[in-house]
Amino acid sequence: MNAPKSVRASAPVPVGADGTVRTEGRVADLVAAEDVLLFVNAAITATGQREFRSGAAEQQLSLDFLHTYVRVNYRRVYAASLALDINHHNAALIVRRLLETAGEASPGELRAEGRLIAARLALLPPPRVYRLFGELRRGKVNNRRTRAIMRDWLAARPDLGHDAVKYRAGLKTVARHIHLPCPEGGGPLAEVGAFLFRPGRLPRYEHGLLDAWRRAHYEQGAVAELPFTVAEGFAAKHGMKREVFLKRAAPGMTRLERLRTQERRAAAGRHGAPAPKADLTVMPLTRLALYVLSLGFEQRAERRAELTGALRAAARRAAGGHAGSWGRVHAVLDDSFSSSGSGQKRRRPLAVALACHHLLEVLAAPGAYRGLWTSGAGDALLVRPWGPTPLGMRILDALEPGADGAAPDRLVIVSDGWDNAPEGLAGEVLRVWRARLDPARRTAVVHVNPVYDAEGFAVRGLAAGVATAGIRDAEDLPALVEIARFAEGRTGTTELYAYLDRRVARFTGAGGEGGVAA
């Protein structure tokens, strides 16, 4: 496995005692900016899971190196990444590494990191936070700062009784680690403490969920009162029929639980109990695209109006105030065989492309969008992972003027970057376009890549002059296009750090103390 290009290209960038980068000359400045963007793209895209062209072990090793390299050389930037649209996996990794290495930070850095960590933990799903806290306990990270962060997060939880039932092992681990006071008297904490550490001591609980859990051991009627994931275990214990259980549990299921139940039934054909129907119009765009692709062609065709309407509604929500502001937009969307992803990330690249297709249609001016699939497919709802990746040919088509004779204002390419029909044509087309046909850059070209390349420590690009950004959820596309401009090589750390400082200030609601360029 090779080191990142910027690491191979130059000596390590000097770092001052305060964690700032001492750039000496334009080359060092651009190297630092490239290192930062390399990590940001990886943190947005990589999850340490198997991809189409690399295994989980390679992904994890590559990601571990990047985290260590950026934390050591650019600690302020490493922490500031928590304010960006990185995925949950990398956000938890950053929090863990910052807490494990608190001794390497200055007091000012610790204060800034504390605000970022608290703001990020508030956005992470509770199961992931409990898993993170468990890893910190096993790693014997038990300093006062870590315990305070855990206590503050628990104090902000809306209902510890609910957490005690749904995330019992995780809450029990955290309570032990931070020595959470659970007195034997009255009060909510006393009941939670009794539930976690002294089960069976109380004849009943005042908290509804805690008492439902107690009654569910011998009373089927109490099963439906529990969170769905907990109720499933009790339903199996009581031998409840699946259709009866789903009917009773339906009112308390979350939108995602309804959707997952429908997906499982779709994957198993038409056998099994009928699933409670999810309201697709309120689903996040990329998650909805994954559900659509899990359906067979016949089901998609039968439900065309419903599915297309839901995708367009989700795209309008994701576009927000950007709707119609991008002018003429042409897109090249990769539905080649590699977009099938892997067993762990099944059809994820294709789902991102499908979601981007609908989002770009909303972002473009009315009637000024044109989407081109690499397979030549004309029906977005029926796309499937198939064939080679003729990116170069599709980019040529996309750069053609529209019906009004005008060139596109933006060209967006959604692909893993493996151009192979013929190999390298996409990069050559873009190079010639920039050098000969559009030197004034009237058409903005951006490549968004949903797949992390473990061997290259980056998301695979197409051409030197074309900005490439990692993407995990199509909803982040407007923000990623903004940060992708830093990848064109024409700006250094000053502009990039100023952008990060603005994002950190918005994310934490704090002033400029502890900025990445401070």
Digit-by-digit pLDDT tens for the chain (518 residues) are 445 554 443 334 444 434 444 434 556 666 788 888 899 999 999 999 999 999 999 999 999 999 999 999 999 999 999 999 999 999 999 999 999 999 999 999 999 999 999 999 999 999 999 999 999 999 999 889 999 999 999 999 999 999 999 999 999 999 999 888 877 666 678 889 989 998 878 889 999 999 999 999 999 989 999 999 999 999 999 999 988 898 888 888 888 888 888 777 666 555 445 566 677 888 899 999 999 999 999 999 999 999 999 999 999 999 988 999 999 999 999 999 999 999 989 999 999 999 999 999 999 999 999 999 999 999 999 999 999 999 999 999 999 887 777 889 999 999 999 998 899 899 999 999 988 888 888 999 999 999 999 998 989 999 887 889 999 999 999 988 888 878 765 566 788 888 899 999 999 986 556 667 65
Nearest CA to 48 out of 345, 340, 291 is that of 345
Does residue 3 sit in helix, strand or coil? coil
Name the strand (E) or helix (H) holding 297.
helix 297-302
Structure tokens at 306: 């419903």
Angle between the N-to-C axes of helices 348-363 and 477-484, in degrees from 0 to 180, rounded to the nearest 10:
90
* Residue with tokens 């259980």, as numbered in its chain: 245
Q: Which long-range contacts (CB under 8 A, 24 or more apart) does 225-229 make?
A: 225/252, 226/165, 226/252, 227/162, 227/165, 227/166, 227/252, 228/252, 228/253, 228/254, 228/257, 229/166, 229/257
d(CA 130, CA 277): 30
Query: CATH says 294-504 is which class?
Result: alpha beta
Domain spans of the chain, in order of start: 27-206, 294-504
- CA angle at 472 for the pair 293 and 117, rounded to the nearest 5°: 135
Q: How far apart are CA 447 and CA 347, in angstroms?
A: 19
